[in-house]
Amino acid sequence: MPALTLPRFKAAAVQAAPVYLDTDKTIAKACDLVREAARNGATLVAFPEVFVPGYPYWNWILNPVEGSAWFEKLYRASIEVPGAETDALCRVARETGCNVVIGVNERASHRMGAIYNTLLLIDSSGKLVSRHRKLVPTWAEKLTWTGGDGSSLRVHQTDVGPVGMLACGENTNTLARFSLLAQGELVHIASYISLPVAPPDYDMADAIRLRAAAHSFEGKIFTIVSCSTISDEIIMAMETAHPKARELLSRESSAFSGIIGPDGRTIGEPLIDREGIVYADIDLGRCIQPKQMHDIIGHYNRFDVFDLRLNRRAQTALSVSGDDSTTKGDGAEPAGGDAWISLTSPKGAYDA
């Protein structure tokens, strides 16, 4: 039997702002950034949380009634998965041979008014492999997003190794992170947004770095951190709704993008606040030796003491039994589908 070989590749973490609430232009920008990263040798490109078409900053500076009109703008600009926008991203992944992870606002196809904070994984052949919906929107985000479920809490085999992904505050969820590690994750994508609206003594950039370092060090894996920036365009849009928007959204040290090794240390120089792309050469063989000391999914655990269970059942709005209908709704979807309705009939059960 030949000796074990593990992938070596170049990863790219994008730190950028979307073309705010403009879906088509943001998709075009994302495609251009994938091409740029590919020209520099990257075969894995990570984008920020809800990069398409942007983050609902109004939740933090307006009251819920004032923000409702902005919610509608975001809903109208959100995308369905799959759809024309994901097709464009799949084409650029296939064209460049890059694996792409990107955050989008996903409009539920059967639930008017429901938006998911979704991470998409597209492999280097241009196949939409997975969509992961953020399990729990954080704090004020509950005014915008519907929570996901465990159906998409998966690690996916790609040509750059086993990849898992979580959005922003999910990276503080120890059990969610452990569930990915236990499935063999070696490359973790942590997607974030820049959020200057925080307590005065809170350093958002350092908090992002700390969470990534903790996951890498605990799991002995690589973490690719991609965070958005707040453009002047975003601030000016919010100034139309709140007179102190610029003051609230301009604090420094609010965005961190970088690549963390299995020892918990940052590889190369990260990006703080400014737009750009961070690159690093990754050798998954570096994950082997650290696991001899602490392998929390293997010898350094007590599974006779601890028992973690993952519910992968898609959560549905309605379960119907005894229906002979053969119509399956809007057809096949990627893993972790819309889970709009579960029908149980003599022909079996399915999610439409």
Q: Which residue has the tokens 């750009």?
A: 276
**Residues with Cβ within 8 Å of residue 325, at least 6 apart in sequence:** 343, 345
Q: Which long-range contacts (CB under 8 A, 24 or more apart) does 292-299 make?
A: 294/218, 294/220, 295/220, 296/178, 296/181, 296/218, 296/219, 297/178, 297/181, 297/182, 297/219
Phi and psi based region of residue 336 (left: phi greater than 0; alpha: psi -120 to 50; beta: remaining): left
Please answer whether residues 220 and 262 qualify as being in contact, where contact means their C-beta atoms are separated by less than 8 angstroms: yes
Separation of alpha carbons 288 and 3, rounded Å? 14
- Whether 134 sits among the annotated catalytic residues: the reply is yes
Cβ–Cβ contacts within 10 Å for residue 64, how many? 11
List residues bridging with 101 in a β-sheet: 46, 121
Which helix (H) or strand (E) element contains residue 332? none
- Whether 244 sits among the annotated catalytic residues: the reply is no
Q: Are strands 8-15 and 44-46 parallel, antiparallel or unpaired?
A: parallel
In this structure, what DSSP letter does residue 16 have? -
Please answer whether residues 58 and 241 qualify as being in contact, where contact means their C-beta atoms are separated by less than 8 angstroms: yes
Separation of alpha carbons 178 and 180, rounded Å? 5
- Whether 49 sits among the annotated catalytic residues: the reply is yes
Q: Out of 49, 85, 141, 170, pick the active-site residue.
A: 49
Q: Out of 31, 90, 168, 287, pick the active-site residue.
A: 168
Q: Which residue has the tokens 């597209």?
A: 122
List residues bridging with 350 in a β-sheet: 343
What DSSP line would sit under 88-124, residue for residue? HHHHHHHHHT-EEEEEEEEEPSSSTT-EEEEEEEE-T
Q: Out of 134, 141, 170, 333, pick the active-site residue.
A: 134
- Active site positions, annotated: 49, 134, 168
